[in-house]
Structure 1
Amino acid sequence: MKTTLLILISLILTFSCQNPNFEEKQGEKIDNPFTGKNPWPEIRKKRINHLLPEAMERAEVDAWMVICRENNNDPMALHIGGENAGGTSFYVFSKSNDKFQSTVFSSFGEVTALRELELHDSIISVSREQDVFQLATEYVKSLKPEKIAINVSTANSTADGLSHSQYKKLAQSFGDDFERKLVSSEELVYEWLSIKLPEEVEIMRKASEITAQWEVEAYEMIIPGKTTDAEVAKFLNDKIKTYGYEDGWNPEQNPNVNSGSDRGHSHATDKVIMPGDVIQTDFGIKVYGIWVTDIQRFAYVLKEGEEKAPEEIQRYWDVAKRGHRLVFENMKPGVSGFELDKAQREWMKENGSLPVPWSTGHPVGYVAHDVGPSLGGGKEGITPSKASLKPLKEGMVFAYDGFYAWEIEGGEKTISVEEMVVVTEDGAEYLTEPQEELILIKK
């Protein structure tokens, strides 16, 4: 009995040493706003019934066909209820005379589950002996549409889910006359996914607050001369696991903790954090398996005898922050991402920053780099992309930076003050309190 007790105590002590969150788990209940029922099914239904018809109107398409299948599914499957497809299924959305309808031609094995979702107006069971391509195309022909959107795109990977073999079979089923009516869904997907419902914004607001808070907590555990970038990253990785969230992007590069020269989108290394370092942490979480965040926080490691950051480091921070706020002040519906990016680059040039290769910002929501306007295109010598010339609209959510880059030993260092905002009726709103001052880390 005594031996068994000693073994048990030993196991508990071992577990507590290996798991930095052990005390947190054993203490007070963790404050986690993302427990309970996942709101995605109801939000998805609202998005289909309210936002999709409007998007089809703006994209000027009469019908949209999405093919879902097992193992190599269309990127839009989750948004239309086809994420669990086994056999090939067609999801058809149509709009005629102000009437919007969604019809699914489903492999018979998925019909029951689809009907219980109560997401679509009609679910048609397709047996093994039937040709789902023929059934779906005949139905669409009966609608007499002028433009039929399908998921092929050279510019938007989210709208490019149709495989070559699927397209060939679809075109054959339609015949020459109707094949000419097939158009890319690129504009439709853009119009639909770029706008987030107010309840989605609120979810991302809470997630943003958690993301920023954890980054600050990660800086508090740093011991200069001992702690590595990778250990700071592990602290944040452990937070994600403890709370049951997912990574905002590829786990190998989330978070990117970088106390040396710029590494771009990369993994944290075993570099030891030293006095005089400026530390960048780029971090995102995914909640409910749907919505992601993308926020950066910056810190400076004080040298012996320093009580504040050196004058030049403070100036770099102030210029980067002002560039960020300049974008925020000009962000509103109707303004293009190109205009915002150009304004910040002019500010950087005026204040002696090296040019940076990255755009000022990007949409964020279902993925870290989501569908929507690019806050870019203002760099000298490049042609603005189509996405950077698109106007911002109310309900769009962005992660964007204020920049300042300078030379350091081994390369360059960039301060990129990244926050998340939502575009409002007449401006923009932060999803969490923005970082106002460099976080100072004492030895």
Structure 2
Amino acid sequence: MYETQKEKMIQAAEYLHKLDIDLWIIYTSEASDISLPLITGVKTVGPGAFLFTKTGEKFAVCSSIDAQDIEESELYHEVFTYSSNLAEVLADLVGKINPNKIAVNKSKEEHLADGLTEGRFRWLKKTLADVFQGSYVPADQFLKKLRSIKTESEIANIQKAIDITHEIYEEIFTKMKAGMTEKQIGKLFVEALEERTLVNGIDRALSMPIVMKENIAHRAPSDVIIDKGDLVIFDFSVDYNGYVSDIARTVYFLKDEEDQAPEEVNRTFHTIHEAISKAFDKIKPGIQGYEVDEVARTHLVDNGYPEIEHATGHQIGRDVHDGGALLGPRWARYGNSPYEVIESGNVFTIEPTVFLRDKGIHFIVEENVVVGETGAKYLTKRQDELILIRS
């Protein structure tokens, strides 16, 4: 247990040392900080704090009723408890550490590194006012890397989530048929999750994936009936041990007289397949995210298709949108994320989409890849042919 957290704590100490940040404090109550599952492996009900030093020391300060799980995790060099006053115990500990620089989970752009509210930050500064006269710095400068650069155990968990996702897809492709509604097919995915005692990686619930015949958007399945001759998008995620997959497939329901999809449908699929290949070949450490997006986006436009309406890819890990570098265009809505540098250990989706709404042709083909020292490797079983459903 806690193998991932042990790895992440080692990473954290390395980043703190490199950045010359003496102490990182995660202050939380009711599991308010989103970084807790990734870093600490444990939560607090009452107000508490987790402290990490650049020399690798790890401390927890918690109420006496929260102490058992934290102590039994054996992740911390020492666990300090309080009955009525967190401030006094925390201030005493920080005074003994005597830092010059403290990192806190504040960020202007990265919501996954912005777990400390302004009110709690004011409380923290007031609590430490007598023992700390140094500077507070945002932890996002290394917390984004902690989320983005996956360890071996994290990649293994993601791979398992992906393998299960493929298994469920293959099972359900044999069960779906024309005449079913989006919801009816969506329920097949729920049943498959339930059989495996797993949940959807998007909302961590026993819920349906995205199933879309029309009205393309991030939405739940509807009561619309799927007919022969329809293209249907499936976007599905599985949570395995706290890590997720994110795989989309578009299938064509053959008409009675058809042995293959219409030429324009086939051409669209193969153009997307080529765009994925170009993005995959471009990915390597040191490249900025927008450079990968650019090659996929340009390929589609050069072949007469509309520009992709969103980023070509995003990171996955603890969440299906795991922050950090984005394989996206240099649009204002994406902030600095397309300019961030790709690093070994990043896990991305690649999903250059095509929506020809006037022709009823819409495709999402989404693969998952991990970045190594020299380039990327597919974690998904790549879709090389259009999936055909004969009813």
Once the two structures are TM-superposed, the CA of residue 81 in structure 1 deviates from its matched residue by 3.2
Gaps (5+ residues) in structure 2? none
- One-letter amino acid of the counterpart of residue 170, structure 2: V
Q: Output the CA distance in 1 between the equivalents of 2:389 and 2:56.
A: 57
- Partner residue of 1:66? 26
Once the two structures are TM-superposed, the CA of residue 80 in structure 1 deviates from its matched residue by 3.5
- Partner residue of 1:408? 358
SS in 2 for 1:362: coil
Q: Map 1:14-413 onto structure 2 (within 5 A).
A: 39=1, 41-48=2-9, 50-70=10-30, 73-81=32-40, 83-95=42-54, 99-128=55-84, 131-175=85-129, 178=132, 181-224=135-178, 226-250=179-203, 251=205, 254-262=208-216, 264-288=217-241, 290-378=242-330, 382=332, 385-408=335-358, 413=361
- Whether the aligned pair in 1 keeps the contact of 2:369 and 2:379 (CA below 8 Å) is yes
Once the two structures are TM-superposed, the CA of residue 59 in structure 1 deviates from its matched residue by 4.9
Query: Judging changes above 3 Å, is the alpha-carbon distance between structure 1 residues 191 and 141 closer, same or farther for their aligned structure 2 residues?
Result: farther
- One-letter amino acid of the counterpart of residue 367, structure 2: E
- Whether the aligned pair in 2 keeps the contact of 1:319 and 1:404 (CA below 8 Å) is no
Gaps (5+ residues) in structure 1? 1-38
Query: Judging changes above 3 Å, is the alpha-carbon distance between structure 1 residues 177 and 144 closer, same or farther for their aligned structure 2 residues?
Result: closer
SS in 1 for 2:56: strand
Q: Output the CA distance in 2 between the equivalents of 1:107 and 1:247.
A: 33
The TM-score, its normalising length taken from structure 2, stands at: 0.93
- Whether the aligned pair in 2 keeps the contact of 1:101 and 1:121 (CA below 8 Å) is yes
Query: Judging changes above 3 Å, is the alpha-carbon distance between structure 1 residues 80 and 126 closer, same or farther for their aligned structure 2 residues?
Result: farther
- One-letter amino acid of the counterpart of residue 309, structure 2: P
- Whether the aligned pair in 2 keeps the contact of 1:73 and 1:83 (CA below 8 Å) is no
- Whether the aligned pair in 1 keeps the contact of 2:103 and 2:138 (CA below 8 Å) is yes
- Partner residue of 1:438? 386
- One-letter amino acid of the counterpart of residue 441, structure 1: I
Q: Output the CA distance in 1 between the equivalents of 2:120 and 2:78.
A: 23
SS in 2 for 1:281: strand
Q: Output the CA distance in 1 between the equivalents of 2:119 and 2:8.
A: 30
Q: Output the CA distance in 2 between the equivalents of 1:269 and 1:310.
A: 26
Query: Judging changes above 3 Å, is the alpha-carbon distance between structure 1 residues 357 and 179 closer, same or farther for their aligned structure 2 residues?
Result: farther
Q: Output the CA distance in 1 between the equivalents of 2:322 and 2:17.
A: 22
For 1:296-327, what per-residue CA distance to the aligned partner results, in whole angstroms no more than 9, with x for missing partners? Answer: 11211112311111111111001111101111
Q: Output the CA distance in 2 between the equivalents of 1:331 and 1:285.
A: 25
Query: Judging changes above 3 Å, is the alpha-carbon distance between structure 1 residues 150 and 439 closer, same or farther for their aligned structure 2 residues?
Result: same
- Whether the aligned pair in 1 keeps the contact of 2:100 and 2:133 (CA below 8 Å) is no
SS in 2 for 1:100: coil
- Whether the aligned pair in 2 keeps the contact of 1:377 and 1:383 (CA below 8 Å) is no
Counting aligned pairs with the same residue, the percent is 27
RMSD: 2.2
- One-letter amino acid of the counterpart of residue 221, structure 1: K
Q: Output the CA distance in 2 between the equivalents of 1:338 and 1:385.
A: 12
SS in 1 for 2:72: helix
Query: Judging changes above 3 Å, is the alpha-carbon distance between structure 1 residues 57 and 414 closer, same or farther for their aligned structure 2 residues?
Result: farther
Q: Specify the structure having the higher radius of gyration (Cα).
A: 1
Query: Judging changes above 3 Å, is the alpha-carbon distance between structure 1 residues 149 and 213 closer, same or farther for their aligned structure 2 residues?
Result: same
SS in 1 for 2:373: coil
- Whether the aligned pair in 1 keeps the contact of 2:199 and 2:206 (CA below 8 Å) is no
Once the two structures are TM-superposed, the CA of residue 115 in structure 1 deviates from its matched residue by 1.7
Q: Output the CA distance in 2 between the equivalents of 1:179 and 1:316.
A: 61
The TM-score, its normalising length taken from structure 1, stands at: 0.82
Once the two structures are TM-superposed, the CA of residue 60 in structure 1 deviates from its matched residue by 4.8
Q: Output the CA distance in 1 between the equivalents of 2:18 and 2:365.
A: 34
Q: Output the CA distance in 1 between the equivalents of 2:311 and 2:263.
A: 27
SS in 2 for 1:372: coil
Once the two structures are TM-superposed, the CA of residue 157 in structure 1 deviates from its matched residue by 2.0
For 1:186-210, what per-residue CA distance to the aligned partner results, in whole angstroms no more than 9, with x for missing partners? Answer: 1221011111111221222122122
- One-letter amino acid of the counterpart of residue 78, structure 1: P
Once the two structures are TM-superposed, the CA of residue 364 in structure 1 deviates from its matched residue by 0.5
Q: Output the CA distance in 2 between the equivalents of 1:58 and 1:255.
A: 42
Alignment partner of 1:420 out of 349, 352, 368? 368
- Whether the aligned pair in 2 keeps the contact of 1:91 and 1:104 (CA below 8 Å) is yes
